[in-house]
Structure 1
Amino acid sequence: MQFKHAPAAVSAVFDDPNLVSAAGLVPMLRLAQHAGVDRLAQARLTVPTDKGSNAGSKVMALVAGMVAGADSIDDMNVLRHGGMGRLFHRAYAPSTLGSFLREFTFGHVRQLDAVSSRVVQNLAGQTPLLRLRDGERVMVDLDDTIIEVHGYQKQGAGFGYSGVRGLNALIATASTSSSAPVILGQRLRQGKTGSPKGAARIVGDALATLRRMSLGNGARPLLRADSAFYGHATIGTAITAGADVSVTVRMDPAVKAAIATIAEDAWEMIEYPNAIRDESTGRWISKAEVAEVPFTAFRSRKKAERIEGRLVVRRIPDLGPTRVEQPTLFDVFRHHAFFTTTAKNAIGTVVADKTHRGHAIIEQVHADLKAGPLAHLPSGVFTANSAWFVLAVIAFNLTRAAGIIADRAGRLAKATTATIRRTLVTVPARLARSARRITLHLPSTWPWEAAFARLFAVTHAPPPSVAT
């Protein structure tokens, strides 16, 4: 692509009061209203009156800014340009929204957690956020990540397991084979916090939210997590809430002893990087093999707290530098094991291993959030950042629902937030008013016109009833 005109023939002037840069906020905020974001926030937030008046409108403004790409308080100015004032009421100044967030206490953040939980439930009632085939399970994934911060005035910042100075963000997501992840629960924690701290509470809240979404096929959800969350509190909470678990275990003496009991002929090759399928037998030729053995977790606890299941083990040859320089007489393997309570007749060994490795999908959600509102934690106040995190989750779930409405069978249903923002939200428009009606004049030949039109039509239909 090249310029059509000489540089001197092109000029730029910011002088049109009827233009908006993000016309997609119109259907997005209609969707947020249908999901009850403003009503729930207004009813449940008890932020002090001098700063917390019109809490519903301020929450809507913050979510709208995040949907439009804001990753700091100053970026909320994206709501205050051109014809935005003719489309929306109360486009607050960034300073007002920053003051509002700084009034949050831990109790107010928990109130906002309740709003987020009900919003995702309402979205699930309006859109097929989680589509299930017959007998399919919902996969609930749990993991944390470090959000790097700089400077010494961020409350709660510290050096955690990654060696990076930051704050610890824990999320629980839900997904299926045909649906991209949505976030069921979240918590911002101090940077030095260990991964399992408070995880049981998040698991209980996430599974309760999932249960209230009434997906209807009756299959038990499956909680997947890495070894940091292998503890009785987290696993016991999940099982009590009616879920199965698939959690990586640490290679402690009990696990090593169990692996040693696996017979050599019990190992089965699996599809793994660089694997080749034997066309004559239909079997995989691979360097990775799996096997399993019955296992009782937490045997050091009293009998009622022990959990029966199976230990699924994947082994690959140990090809480290030491082994290459000093070959051993026998093959040496590295073992990776996870504990699961699923029944073998329901999920076989090979399928269980592949299903467990699917836990990595949660890393995509972390990356998505860090490419958007969590690129920065905008305040020095820990509770303000905690509230910002919850609002980022609400914005994430809204964009996920919008992508499904706009293009249920296409790429937008599983697209990243950045893609949905580029195709459906940051669409320039010129406002024209006639007979008390506003018309958005959008670019002709917009490649995603059909998806935008579908989203606009659905969100401007009469709203369904929502939970309050």
Structure 2
Amino acid sequence: MQVFHEPAGRLTPVFDEDHLVAAGGLPAVLGLAEQGDLSGLLADTLTVDCPNAGLKTRALVAGMLAGADDIDGTDILRTGGTRRVLGGVRAPSTLGTFLRCFTHGHVLQLGAVNRALLEGLAGRVPGLFGADRVVMVDLDDTIRELHGYRKQGVAYGYNKVKGLNAILATISSDSCAPVIAGAGLRRGNVRSGDHAAWHAARAIALTRRIRPGAQIMGRADSAFCTCETIHAFADHDCWFSVTIPAWPTVTAAIGRIDEQAWTPIQYPHAVIEPETGELISDAEVAETRFTAFVSHPKEEQVSCRLVVRRVKRLNPAGQDPLVQTYRYHAFITNSDLDTAEADRRHRDHAIVEQVIAELKAGPLAHLPSGRFTANAAWLGCAVIAFNLSRAAAHAAGLGRARMPTIARTLVMIPARLATRARRRYLHMPRGWPWQSQFMRLWTTATAVGPPLALAS
């Protein structure tokens, strides 16, 4: 025990250094944001009735990039020499008051800023949206658990958890991790599919501008299987791949599939028999023609493919004859992919869950205000921060790194601010393991104009 206690006993912590920077990588990430014209977009778009609205929004985003998951956490921007490096920052109380100035229209303006920023970053960060033929637009929602009775819109949601509902629309491809095209905060007891078509249409329009000519595939789970959502994709000449509930028409269609039509597939838990090379898996796929939404008028019905994956049950005793051996997962699609590839693409929809997990582990760990529109604005800033961290990862050559990894390796770098010959320097630790990746990011962030640390 003496070995561990002796060094601490010889140390005396003193918080008196004015030249240390808490997050030495923030100038690079915010410099990348300026490459996408974040400040200009905020000045031109945001009309919140509050002085320096763009500067305060930028401070909220910077705080989230530095790990803030509530209003008080943004105070990290005012430590030591951090404020001298970043320029204008504000006290947490000021930022909290600013959030409460937002209306629903101002929240929509933040969404417009996010989409325009992604367009700007697409030209500055090669690979942010990949070059694949197929681009996926994924829809999903989550409940952010909240407590107390003084937060507007709080209610028990689909998972019996009390909170607010956040819907997300992401863009991704096989070669690039997702970015968030749009998000919206909703009351806790909203149906998942409500107004999903509205979010899908905006994500599709953004994808068309960024990746013209790419084939878009919209994916979602069964909660989003509504006539409006399917038509939001189909009417825009997009593929759709959406899980369909076990409606009577779906169960009947599965029952009509011939037993010889089932094909074994490469499933995550499948293994290869060493002697024969055969695939050992209980997963099989088949498909049949299907007409969805037959209760709607004929012009709203959707003729498509019903692709079904079945996995053998471990304990089938006592089940209905149709499902006594297998459990079935069905989805509808209009793609021209073969059955196995369509199933693989659909299973990859789970990638949106990682986006939700990153947000909940970061800026969405809390929704800080009792006012609904303030929380919606916080979500809008969190989306911008997430997309900036994703762009920074691509610029640094860490394209699939997650938000906590990006913060640890590229943002939260301890640094000392020094001035020589009217030039500012950030002295960072010798031997930093991710130095080369950070310098790649810095080169991209400062490709035009001086580094952000030198700006007045």
Q: Same fold (TM over 0.5)?
A: yes
How far apart, in 1, do the equivalents of 2:215 and 2:84 lie? 48
The alpha carbon displacement at 1:290 in A equals 0.8
| 1:112 aligned partner | 110
Within a 5 Å distance, the mapping from 1:321-340 to structure 2 comes to 323-324=316-317, 332-340=325-333
| 2:452 aligned partner | none
Where 2:215 maps in the other structure, the secondary structure is coil
Q: Kindly indicate whether the alpha-carbon contact (under 8 Å) linking 2:124 and 2:444 is maintained by their aligned counterparts in 1.
A: no
Gaps of 5+ in 2: 450-456
CA deviation vs aligned residue, 1:356-389 (integer Å, no higher than 9, x gap): 1111111000000001000000011000000100
Counterpart amino acid of 1:28? V
CA deviation vs aligned residue, 1:50-91 (integer Å, no higher than 9, x gap): xx2211111110100000000111111011011123223221
> Are the structure 2 counterparts of residues 462 and 333 from structure 1 closer, same or farther at C-alpha, using a change threshold of 3 Å?
same
How far apart, in 2, do the equivalents of 1:311 and 1:85 lie? 57
How far apart, in 2, do the equivalents of 1:25 and 1:445 lie? 19
1:342 corresponds to 2:335:
yes
| 1:12 aligned partner | 13
Within a 5 Å distance, the mapping from 1:228-239 to structure 2 comes to 228-239=223-234
Within a 5 Å distance, the mapping from 1:20-419 to structure 2 comes to 20-48=21-49, 52-127=50-125, 128-133=127-132, 136-213=133-210, 215-216=211-212, 218-278=213-273, 283-320=278-315, 323-324=316-317, 332-343=325-336, 347-407=337-397, 412-419=398-405
CA deviation vs aligned residue, 1:308-328 (integer Å, no higher than 9, x gap): 2100011122334xx348998
The alpha carbon displacement at 1:301 in A equals 2.3
> Are the structure 2 counterparts of residues 274 and 47 from structure 1 closer, same or farther at C-alpha, using a change threshold of 3 Å?
closer
The alpha carbon displacement at 1:276 in A equals 2.6
How far apart, in 2, do the equivalents of 1:427 and 1:368 lie? 20
CA deviation vs aligned residue, 1:226-259 (integer Å, no higher than 9, x gap): 0111111001011122211000001111111111
The alpha carbon displacement at 1:175 in A equals 1.1
Counterpart amino acid of 1:354? R
Gaps of 5+ in 1: 464-468
Q: Kindly indicate whether the alpha-carbon contact (under 8 Å) linking 2:255 and 2:322 is maintained by their aligned counterparts in 1.
A: no
Q: Kindly indicate whether the alpha-carbon contact (under 8 Å) linking 1:270 and 1:285 is maintained by their aligned counterparts in 2.
A: no
Counterpart amino acid of 1:391? C
How far apart, in 2, do the equivalents of 1:326 and 1:254 lie? 20
Counterpart amino acid of 1:379? S
Q: Kindly indicate whether the alpha-carbon contact (under 8 Å) linking 2:20 and 2:414 is maintained by their aligned counterparts in 1.
A: yes
> Are the structure 2 counterparts of residues 108 and 335 from structure 1 closer, same or farther at C-alpha, using a change threshold of 3 Å?
same
> Are the structure 2 counterparts of residues 404 and 273 from structure 1 closer, same or farther at C-alpha, using a change threshold of 3 Å?
closer
How far apart, in 2, do the equivalents of 1:351 and 1:199 lie? 26
> Are the structure 2 counterparts of residues 166 and 330 from structure 1 closer, same or farther at C-alpha, using a change threshold of 3 Å?
closer
The alpha carbon displacement at 1:296 in A equals 1.6
Q: Kindly indicate whether the alpha-carbon contact (under 8 Å) linking 1:158 and 1:167 is maintained by their aligned counterparts in 2.
A: yes
How far apart, in 2, do the equivalents of 1:329 and 1:456 lie? 59
The TM-score normalised by the length of structure 2 is 0.94
How far apart, in 2, do the equivalents of 1:108 and 1:328 lie? 55
The alpha carbon displacement at 1:351 in A equals 1.1
Q: Kindly indicate whether the alpha-carbon contact (under 8 Å) linking 2:305 and 2:333 is maintained by their aligned counterparts in 1.
A: yes
1:441 corresponds to 2:427:
yes
Percent of residue pairs bearing the same amino acid type: 50
Counterpart amino acid of 2:380? V
Q: Kindly indicate whether the alpha-carbon contact (under 8 Å) linking 2:111 and 2:380 is maintained by their aligned counterparts in 1.
A: yes
Counterpart amino acid of 2:156? F
> Are the structure 2 counterparts of residues 148 and 326 from structure 1 closer, same or farther at C-alpha, using a change threshold of 3 Å?
closer
How far apart, in 1, do the equivalents of 2:313 and 2:54 lie? 57
The alpha carbon displacement at 1:330 in A equals 10
How far apart, in 2, do the equivalents of 1:453 and 1:329 lie? 59
Where 1:295 maps in the other structure, the secondary structure is strand
Q: Kindly indicate whether the alpha-carbon contact (under 8 Å) linking 2:81 and 2:417 is maintained by their aligned counterparts in 1.
A: yes
How far apart, in 2, do the equivalents of 1:430 and 1:350 lie? 55
Q: Kindly indicate whether the alpha-carbon contact (under 8 Å) linking 2:318 and 2:324 is maintained by their aligned counterparts in 1.
A: no
Q: Supply the RMSD in Å over aligned alpha carbons.
A: 1.9
Counterpart amino acid of 1:86? R
How far apart, in 2, do the equivalents of 1:159 and 1:138 lie? 34
Q: Kindly indicate whether the alpha-carbon contact (under 8 Å) linking 1:38 and 1:59 is maintained by their aligned counterparts in 2.
A: no
Q: Kindly indicate whether the alpha-carbon contact (under 8 Å) linking 1:274 and 1:286 is maintained by their aligned counterparts in 2.
A: yes
How far apart, in 2, do the equivalents of 1:329 and 1:16 lie? 71
Greater Cα shift, 123-132 or 179-188: 123-132
Counterpart amino acid of 1:416? R
The alpha carbon displacement at 1:302 in A equals 2.5
How far apart, in 2, do the equivalents of 1:395 and 1:428 lie? 20
The alpha carbon displacement at 1:289 in A equals 1.1
